Amino acid sequence: MPAFSLNAYVALSAVLFALGGIGVLVRRSPLAMLMSIELMLNSANLLFVAFGRAHGGYEGQIMAFLVITVAAAEVAIGLALTVLLFRRREHADVDEVTDLKL
């Protein structure tokens, strides 16, 4: 039986999610943004695992497992796009990537 209440895990996950959101908003290098997104996904995972443990079933764990797998795929695609970005231009600041703007 975990020592802290479920609320402690929910609050910790919320803090991690918000801090990751600050990372996405504040940093402008694509690598830093990808890392922050990973941390946000991880905080959601912590919530899945905590609620799964609270219910005593396996749904939360399975979902967290699927999220980990999708996040790995997302990182592969995201880093491939970052490589293309660095190849095509000198500066890889996301503010200067405006190719899709009309």
8 A C-beta contact, residue 27 and residue 33? yes
- Span 54-83, contacts to another protein by CB under 8 A: 54-56, 58, 61-62, 64-66, 68-77, 79-83
How many CB atoms sit inside 10 A of residue 24's CB? 15
What's the rounded Cα separation, in Å, for the pair 69 and 71?
5
Establish if 37 lies at the interface with another protein (CB under 8 A).
Answer: no
| Least CB distance to another protein at residue 102 (A) | 22
Q: Which amino acid is at 84?
A: L
Establish if 50 lies at the interface with another protein (CB under 8 A).
Answer: yes
Establish if 89 lies at the interface with another protein (CB under 8 A).
Answer: no
